[in-house]
Chain A
Amino acid sequence: MTRKRQRMIFVVTGLISLGVATGLVLLALGDNLVFFHGPSEVVSEEFPPQRRFRLGGLVEEGSVKRNEDGLTVEFVVTDLVNVVPVTFTGILPDLFREGQGVVAEGRLGADGVFVATEVLAKHDETYIPADVVDALKAAGQWQGD
């Protein structure tokens, strides 16, 4: 066996074992690496009231209610199976609207309402020119929100 071959085998086995080790670490970390939990997880698993976590899903159509103080917003986050009601006081990001993905950070109250301290909009990966959407809406063909 030449030295070159030896070095190649050394490098390849090193990379493979490193890859396997990293894979096992990531597998073990599993759930701790997710950025948010969906409504179904929140409904099925008991989240204690003192635990802060992020709730992610779609803002249900027709669920957004603004309070009279102009700052507090109530809406419902859905994954199309289960729903979690959310209340939030503060400034919402530009992309926030009904049917849009959101990630809210906060605690689950005893009454089952999620009290958010921060609301982030999640961008879906579609890009369509604005004038095309206007034309589709004018023609009544728009499939989006």
Chain B
Amino acid sequence: MRVSGAFLPWLAAITAALLAWGLYDGLLVAPPDYQQGETVRIMYVHVPSAYLSMMIFGTMAFASAVALIWRHPVADIAAKASAPIGAGMTAAALATGMLWGQPMWGTFWVWDARLTSMLLLFFIYLGYMALWAAIDDPERAGKAAAILALVGSVNLPIIHFSVEWWNTLHQGPSVLVSGGSTIEGPFLRPMFIMIGAYTVFYFTVLIWRMHQEIIARRIRSLRLLQAQG
């Protein structure tokens, strides 16, 4: 706690610096696209939040497996503390995607496989948080929520491969494709800076939230002791 607490202000500073650099690079330095014009700049917030929304759920599923198998209490806390951040990222990815879709596709929303599976991820996040809130005993709540996180992780490959398995309105992958990226360099630089900024942001808020959760659990056990004594 003391060590990670000392890191927190530094992590927050790195987040702020990366965000400022990425936004400056993306909004002012990067060129407009030949088809999308200035609208391409939405990518610099859409792609990082979409990436984080899936990366965070993957982390939660892994932490949940560790909590279920090895009964490590910190794994439980890490998964619980991650959920609201991931839900926020999913909401941001959906919202920025809609803002991009209206001028580019001609519609805010379509029920294609990518958009629908992403909305499903958002509801799984909400369900996960609701499950934690619904059960009072943290040990039982953790076990139920961990199972939900593992079940929900089935959705992750579906989201990722949806644009390849079925024809969708959402475009296919453009960064991680065989034969190199179909995105030119000047667009990629701000995108990767923003992905870095979002990732550090996640770890900053995660550590901060885990601190709060650990303190809350200590207070809870002290109260229980007091009530018994």
Q: Which residues of A contact B (CB under 8 A)?
A: 4, 7-8, 11, 14-15, 18-19, 22, 26, 33-36, 38, 56, 91-96, 103, 118-133, 144
- Say yes or no for B65: interface residue by CB 8 A criterion: yes
Q: CB-defined interface of B135-153 with A at 8 Å, one 1/0 digit per residue?
A: 0000000000000001101
Given A127-B33, A130-B32, 6 other A-B residues pairs in contact with their CB atoms under 8 A: A18-B154, A94-B106, A123-B171, A127-B40, A129-B31, A130-B33
CB distance from B108 to the nearest CB of A (A): 11
Tell whether, in the assembled complex, residue B172 and residue A125 are in contact, meaning their CB atoms are under 8 Å apart. Answer: yes
| Chain B residues in 8 Å Cβ range of A131 | 31
Q: Do B166 and A35 touch across chains, with their CB atoms under 8 A apart? A: yes
The reply to whether A33 and B166 contact each other, CB–CB distance below 8 Å, is yes
Which one of B70, B103, B150, B167 has the greatest number of beta carbons of chain A within 10 Å? B167
Are A124 and B171 in touch, CB under 8 angstroms? yes
A34-B69 contact in complex given A93-B103, A125-B172, A127-B33, C-beta closer than 8 Å: no
Tell me whether A132 and B105 are in contact in the complex, defined as CB-CB below 8 angstroms, given that A56-B167, A125-B182 are known contacts: no
Give B residues with C-beta under 8 Å from A: 31-37, 40, 43, 65, 68-70, 103-107, 110-113, 150-151, 153-154, 158, 165-169, 171-174, 182-184, 186-187
**Residues of A close to B184: CB separation below 8 A:** 127-129, 132
Tell me the smallest distance from the CB of B6 to a CB of chain A, in Å: 33
Is there an interface contact between B169 and A93, defined as CB atoms closer than 8 Å?
no
> Which of B43, B105, B107, B171 has the largest number of chain A CB atoms within 10 A?
B105
Please give, as numbers and ranges, the residues of chain A lying within 8 Å of B182 by CB-CB distance: 125-127
Q: B interface, by DSSP: helix, strand, loop or mixed?
A: loop
**How many Å lie between the Cα of A95 and that of B107 in the bound state?**
12
Q: Smallest Cβ distance from B92 to chain A, in angstroms?
A: 20
Q: Say whether A7 contacts B69, CB under 8 Å.
A: yes
A96 to B107 Cα, complex, angstroms: 13
Which residue of A is nearest B172, CB measured? A125
Give Cα distance in the complex from A92 to B103, angstroms.
10
Q: Are A132 and B34 in contact (CB under 8 A)?
A: yes
Contacts of B183 in A (CB 8 A): 125-127
Q: Which residue of B lies closest to A125 (CB)?
A: B174
Q: With a CB–CB cut-off of 8 A, which chain A residues contact B171?
A: 122-125
Alpha-carbon separation in the docked complex, A96 to B150 (Å): 42
Q: Report the bound CA distance from A113 to B186 in whole Å.
A: 43
Option from A56, A91, A130 in Cβ contact (under 8 Å) with B31:
A130
User: Cβ of B65: which chain A residues have Cβ within 8 Å of it?
Assistant: 11
